[in-house]
């Protein structure tokens, strides 16, 4: 059935009132509509857990850590380990956060690294780490929602 003439706008207004009647707007909803920040947690993920320390190869170091936001663990995102000053097109070590947000780098040559993560609908986050042979360092990455970018 096709609506024409004055019935089309009237039916759209009726549909809008039906939708609005089912949802009561809060102050926070109104604030989001006009561009204010929200502290609301969009989803509740599992509690982030640091994985067990890996056994290291001789002459290498490692990093274990968690990837989480205010709502909990952010699983299945890739974490990139770059060496500052390296060519952006060179190969870099990567790790994937597990279902509890934990990740492991188990064979990094000693040196200074920057861990970078870009999670969907979050600001990118990074951390600087100095890796030493035979040592495992712990890092927490906590990207923030884009809601509050001004």
Query: Domain check: are 31 and 75 in the same one?
Result: no
Query: Domain check: are 139 and 66 in the same one?
Result: yes
pLDDT of residue 149: 47
3-state secondary structure of 68: strand
- Give residue 73's domain range: 61-148
Averaged pLDDT, groups of 10, the chain, 150 residues long: 60 62 55 53 77 92 94 92 85 93 95 93 91 96 72
pLDDT of residue 147: 61
3-state secondary structure of 10: helix
User: Domain tally for the chain?
Assistant: 2
Distant-in-sequence, close-in-space partners of 45: CB < 8 Å, separation ≥ 6: 68, 69, 71, 72, 73, 74, 75, 101
pLDDT of residue 29: 56
Query: Domain check: are 69 and 24 in the same one?
Result: no
pLDDT of residue 30: 54
Query: Domain check: are 32 and 65 in the same one?
Result: no
The structure's pTM equals 0.69
Query: Domain check: are 133 and 85 in the same one?
Result: yes
Distant-in-sequence, close-in-space partners of 130: CB < 8 Å, separation ≥ 6: 111, 112, 113, 137
Query: Domain check: are 69 and 106 in the same one?
Result: yes
pLDDT of residue 2: 57
106: closest CA among 67, 47, 49, 51? 51
pLDDT of residue 122: 85
pLDDT of residue 150: 47
């Amino acid at each position: 059935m096709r609506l024409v003439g004055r019935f089309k706008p009237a039916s759209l207004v009726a549909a809008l009132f039906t939708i609005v009647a089912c949802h009561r707007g809060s102050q926070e909803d109104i604030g989001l509509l006009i561009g204010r920040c929200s502290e609301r947690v969009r989803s509740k993920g599992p509690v982030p857990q640091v994985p067990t320390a890996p056994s290291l190869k001789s002459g290498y170091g490692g990093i274990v850590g968690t990837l989480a936001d205010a709502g909990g663990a952010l699983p299945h995102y890739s974490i990139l380990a770059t060496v500052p000053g390296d060519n952006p097109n060179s190969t870099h070590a990567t790790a994937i956060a597990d279902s509890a947000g934990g990740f492991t780098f188990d064979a990094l040559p000693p040196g200074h690294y920057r861990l970078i993560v870009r999670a969907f609908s979050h600001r990118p986050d990074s951390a600087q780490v100095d890796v030493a042979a035979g040592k495992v360092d712990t890092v927490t990455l906590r990207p923030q929602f884009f809601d509050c970018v001004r």
